[in-house]
Structure 1
Amino acid sequence: MLPDPISSDPNSPSNPAEPMGDMPVISARAAALDLLEAVLRRRQPLDEALSSHPDLGRLPSRDRQFVRALVTTALRHLGQIDHTLAQCLEKPLPARASAVRNILRLGVAQTLFLQTPAHAAVDTMVSLVAKRGGEAGYKGLVNAVLRRIVRDAELFRQARPGNGIFTGAISLPDWLWQSWVKAYGVQQATAIATAHLAEPPLDFTVRRDPAHWAKLLQGEVLPTGTVRRPPHPQEHYRPSPRIEDLPGFAEGMWWVQDAAAALPARLLGGDLTGQRVLDMCAAPGGKTAQLALAGAAVTALDRSNKRLERVKENLIRLQLTAQLEAADAALWRKGKEFDAILLDAPCSATGTIRRHPDVAWLKDPRDIVKLTATQDRLLDAAAALVRPGGRIVYCTCSLQPEEGEARIAAFLARNPSMRRLPIGAFEIGGLEELLTRDGDLRSFPYQLSQQGGIDGFYAARLTLDS
């Protein structure tokens, strides 16, 4: 059962707002509503909305973590939540009542998935709608709908992908579901959608001695060498320790990086001592750190000075070095004849929905068209920068074949001097199931299910003939 954070929610009925200076502290659930509105109405990425929220930092740590858990849960299950609400509303809410719709969504998320006590899930949402002026007239509706869902919570909870009643379509925007069905079939698309509903574990890339750090971080070592710390079950929600407070952070002994995201840099070679390596789209710097740790002379390229500052901060903490360059990677020609190039291209990020559930609701097919054009330009730029005999690893954290296999097929057709270097299972911890028939890497979120899954990723390794 989720402990009810209402006791530390400053605007809750049991804990009236306490001023901080001349400014009242916002309630946790009001902050959650602000963030959900930012994502779904203003199409703002959740991480960006979290970092820019003017009042979130004044909440106690426990409440901030509850806010994040509540919003990510609502986004992760948004399709099922809306399906539930549609069964409980006699007619759809008008477009102008978007705040009411989002309040209901937060109430359903608490009731069905966070298992917040019924009185807290209902009463706080009714209180929240009452405080919003123009929406106050919906108090009765919000109360009635949420109380009905509380009564039939188990029935509504069962309507989820993979239970034999509904397919993954219930949890996703239609365009995304249809794209996966077309690419992989209904059964595999359902497995992907189901895997995205689970809270992901926390993965670390360590400098050395994974077994030692797995013990200190209370995790396990995956076959690929990543150290994984399991998530807290949300039904037993409690604040997790801050990343900065975990053993080894201050000493720079590890960095957070999904197990799939850690694989592409390894495909350039285990020992890169003395080799000139270009990380074409470097931020936030996890792959740059891997390349530097492997001994490479790394040039980290990114078009954003702000993002490069984050790369710099991470490298300083990890006591690693790289040359940082701010430029458009598709146009940059300052360096040439690189021994190896890592191109982690901008993409739709649909493989990371389990970590970033807002992605499913921020993207649409038009984004894919724009991104594939960018990916083609970056691949052609990489071909112009690598030396004969050098290697290029192209990767995206996308499940869309248009951003993976199709881009490599088109690139090889345009560049007859380039050829594929198939990846061996021994290079990725023996996980042969992550390889395609062409020898590319293609991971799916439902793989490694016993260990907590893995992000969806694609990578291909290429070489320029001498």
Structure 2
Amino acid sequence: MGTALVSALSCARAAALSVLADSDAAAYARERLDRLDATAHLDSRDRALALRLVLGVTSAVGVLDDALNAQLDQPKKVAPRVRWALRVAAFEILYLDTPTEVAVSQGVELVRSVARRAAGLANAVLRRVAEGREAFLAAEDADVEHREVVACARRSGLPVWLVRELRASLGPRADGLLASALKPAPLALHLNPRVEGAADAVSGAADVLPGCRIGVEGASIGRDDVLARADAVVSDRHAQLIATAATRPGTCLEIGAGRGTKSFVMCSQAVRAGYRRAHVALDLSERRCRANADRLARAGFVGIDTVHGDGCDLDAVFGDADDHRRFDTVFVDAPCSGTGTMRRHAEIAWRLTTEDVRHALPALQLALLRQAASRVGEGGELLYATCSVLSSENKAVVEAFLNTAEGSAFRLVPVSDAAIFQLAGFAGAAGCLQTNEDADGCFQSAPSSGSFDGHFCARLVRVR
């Protein structure tokens, strides 16, 4: 293909560069894309490419820099905006089906748009990246003893250390996660049972889990203000299963409620099950608590209190150090690495450290569980959930908890045996949980091509 045919810079690539280079470094890529004006003029096809580039470049940024730095004489002297432009082009060369001439030519024009004098450098560097693509992805430059894992990390766009952690935690199931790491994740919704006709306003198919809609097209989600009216929420199917398992009659304390996606699902399922409940949704962020309360009010749910405070100090939250308030159900949706949701949250892989996943997060998670245990009433249930696939944050935390004084009062029971799954209409969903349960009944899903996210849940019953 001749250069003249592809020399005009595409709107989608220009928009992607603007989103990547001009945004707050702490922002999530999806938030950047949604709030910037750069994509307002794009049609659906161009906007989809811009989104793909933004998420892909963010997901694989460390690998892209390795590929580029190997072809640059002075990597540290490359201006930030030029580097972002080179990353966009390198992502297309390494991971997309874009013809090489198109990816290189567009990359050159992208660099020219921010630094005209760097166009020649871009042309030389990107052509060398393209020529060395197969050797780079095969990690032919790595030591033989590490070549296989380095090659796997490069193909998946992830840090080498994280690939090792994923394999150690998931075993053979890590292969599916790694193969799908740079692919879009499927979308699912949960419908508000109080809204007649909510299912007619969105695409997709009804799932075996009541209220869950799968096979959802992204373009349909915003149609008719379905989300703005709280007729539905976007929620991963596995997250919906866990929230459903935590839905019981009586009183419930939800720790780590965030903006309230699981709060919404639990309230919805309680309506379908005919449960009477009183629900306290706790989060450390006052802003997230307000967002949760606002959406629950729009949805028409009642009996929900949103409280902001530290889940590691529930005495301070409730002001009852001498007379603990207890609940029939305590659901800990713990802060975690998010490694089960990396396809949706592109920044995760390159922000995490080994200290986070081996020490800092597990210590926090255990502290939350120990505090939560003191608030479970006699015969009550304690559920612990993360959106991580790492055993250090999941089964290891549960085992550590069971070995504490607080944990000695509990025993593990299968998540799929939760009472709600005994009800007509809900029994089929139990099978979805059972396919991902271990011998102790703990649920652990893992992403793969076409499948939903990685989530963990342990269900514990107070026995004394």
Confirm or deny a common fold (TM above 0.5).
yes
What is the distance in 1 between the residues matched to 2:68 and 2:199? 43
| 1:16 matched residue in structure 2 | none
Note the C-alpha offset of 1:390. 0.7
Residues 208-243 of structure 1: CA deviation (Å, up to 9, x unaligned): 499x87675331234444311255xxxxxxxx5263
Which residue of structure 2 lines up, in the alignment, with residue 462 of structure 1?
460
Which residue number in structure 2 is paired with residue 436 of structure 1? 438
User: Hey, what does 1:420 align to over in structure 2?
Assistant: 412
Separation in 2 of the partners of 1:229 and 1:367? 34
Q: Which residue of 1 aligns with 2:305?
A: 323
Among residues 141, 147, 168, which one is paired with 2:152 in the alignment? 168
- Closer/same/farther in 2, CA of residues 465 and 276 from structure 1, 3 Å limit: same
- Once the two structures are TM-superposed, the CA of residue 124 in structure 1 deviates from its matched residue by 4.6
Residue ranges of structure 1 left out of the alignment (5+ in a row): 13-26, 232-239
- Give the alignment partner of residue 139 of structure 1, picking from 119, 125, 135: 119
- 2:90 is aligned to 108
Q: Does 1:31 align with 2:31?
A: no
The 8 Å contact of residues 28 and 346 in structure 2, kept in 1 or not, is answered as no
Among 180, 185, 193, the alignment partner of 2:178 is 193
1:7 CA drift (Å): 8.0
> Distance in 1 between the 2:15 and 2:59 partners?
19
The alpha-carbon distance between structure 1 residues 176 and 247, as it changes in their structure 2 partners (threshold 3 A), is same
Equivalent residue of 2:415, what SS? Answer: coil
Give the number of aligned pairs: 419
Alpha-carbon displacement from aligned partner over 1:276-306 (angstroms, at most 9, x marks no partner) = 1111111121111122221421111111111
Superposition map of 1:379-458 within 5 A: 379-414=369-404, 415=406, 416-424=408-416, 428-431=429-432, 432-446=434-448, 449=449, 452-458=450-456
- CA distance in 1 between partners of 2:207 and 2:111 (Å): 46
Matches within 5 A, 1:53-92: 55-56=37-38, 60=42, 62=44, 66-78=49-61, 81-82=64-65, 84-85=67-68, 89=71, 91=73
Aligned letter for 1:363? L
Q: C-alpha deviations, 1:424-454, integer Å up to 9, x for none?
A: 37664413321011110111112xx5xx211
Amino acid at match of 1:408: V
- How far is 1:112 from its partner? 5.0
Aligned-partner Cα distance in 1 for 2:41–2:96: 20
| Distance in 1 (alpha carbons) for counterparts of 2:435 and 2:138 | 30
Counterpart AA for 1:393: L
Deviation of residue 118 (structure 1)? Answer: 6.2
TM-score (norm 2): 0.78
Q: CA deviation at 1:90?
A: 6.1
1:255 to 1:338, Cα distance in 2 relative to 1, 3 A: same
2:173, 2:446 within 8 Å by CA — same for their partners in 1? no
Percent of residue pairs identical? 29
Give the Cα separation in 2 of the matches to 1:95 and 1:398: 37
* Residue 254 (structure 2) aligned to one of 258, 279, 287: 279
2:182 match: secondary structure: coil
User: Which AA in structure 2 matches 1:105?
Assistant: R
Unpaired segments of 5 or more residues in structure 2? 1-5, 140-147, 319-323, 422-426
User: 2:205 aligned with 1:220, yes or no?
Assistant: yes
Report the AA paired with residue 104 of structure 1.
Answer: L
Q: CA deviation at 1:267?
A: 1.6
Using the TM superposition, give the Cα deviation of residue 417 of structure 1 relative to its aligned residue in structure 2, in angstroms.
Answer: 1.2
2:289 paired with 1:308: yes
SS in 2 for 1:336: coil
